[in-house]
Amino acid sequence: MSDQSSEPKRGHFAQNKGEVILREHEYDGIQEFDQKLPNWWLFTFYGAIVWFAVYWFLYYQLHHLRSDREVVVAEMKAVYEKKAKELEATLASLDDQTLVKTWATDAGIVASGEAIYTTNCIACHGADMSAVMMAGDQKIPLPGRSLNDGVWEYSGKPMDIFKIINQGSPVDAKGLNGAKMQAWGQMLTPKQIAEVTAYIIAKNPKEFSAQP
């Protein structure tokens, strides 16, 4: 490889001339230039080191940056405050009558309630609300309670159904075979809960149309 005509000078001679150095030593035929480090490369390296010092100084010395815990707690407080207001507003605008007469009769609302039910509820209450699944000809009970047998463990008033879905089974309740429903208010908005409630009402027409 050393017979190229443009071969650079080697060793200190080249350095003194200000040319690119090709080092004297060869390793199993491998030669090494000794090029200067590219400036842009040095800049990124020094820049990252300086940034380290600056960031650490801002965070640990000046307390200028908030920790992610401080940030997330503040954000979550805001979420829960907003949610409480939202719920308050929903509760103020809803009552048993409105749910049965207005919401449960609106096809659009019932359809979105069904979509929410299908995603979240059928694992425990079954697609037909009977809380039973068929495996071949074998009836397998699901974890939840039946929602189409007219029995309402924690009151069958529409607004009470809404609250149970929102908050989950009451804290002091025994649950069904020990099982309790989680508070769906964490995953669903008050509006969505009202829509599911409307869907449940719509699927039990006899019962709820009889209510005053």
By CB under 8 A, the residues from 90 to 109 that bind another protein are none
Q: Is 73 in the site for another protein (CB under 8 A)?
A: yes
Helix (H, G, I), strand (E, B) or coil at 157: coil
Residues 6+ apart with CB under 8 A from 64: 58
Q: Compare residues 30 and 107 and give the one whose CB is closer to another protein.
A: 30
Which of 14, 112, 115, 143 lies at the binding interface for another protein (CB under 8 A)? 143
Q: According to CB under 8 A, which residues from 107 to 136 bind another protein? A: 119-120, 123-124, 133, 135
Q: Is 142 in the site for another protein (CB under 8 A)?
A: yes
DSSP assignment of 109-121, as one string?
Answer: HHHHHHHHHHHHT
Q: Which stretch binds another protein (CB under 8 A): 23-31, 99-107, 154-162, 194-202?
A: 23-31
Residues 6+ apart with CB under 8 A from 131: 124, 125, 141, 142, 143, 144, 145, 146, 147
Which of 3, 5, 18, 69 lies at the binding interface for another protein (CB under 8 A)? 69
Extended strands (E) in 76-206: 132-135, 138-141
Structure tokens at 157: 């008033």
Q: Which stretch binds another protein (CB under 8 A): 69-77, 97-105, 154-162, 194-202?
A: 69-77
Q: Compare residues 111 and 140 and give the one whose CB is closer to another protein.
A: 140
Q: Is 72 in the site for another protein (CB under 8 A)?
A: yes
Q: Which stretch binds another protein (CB under 8 A): 38-46, 92-100, 147-155, 203-211?
A: 38-46
Cα(72)–Cα(65) distance, integer angstroms: 13
- Write down the least CB distance from residue 138 to another protein, Å: 6
Cα(160)–Cα(163) distance, integer angstroms: 5
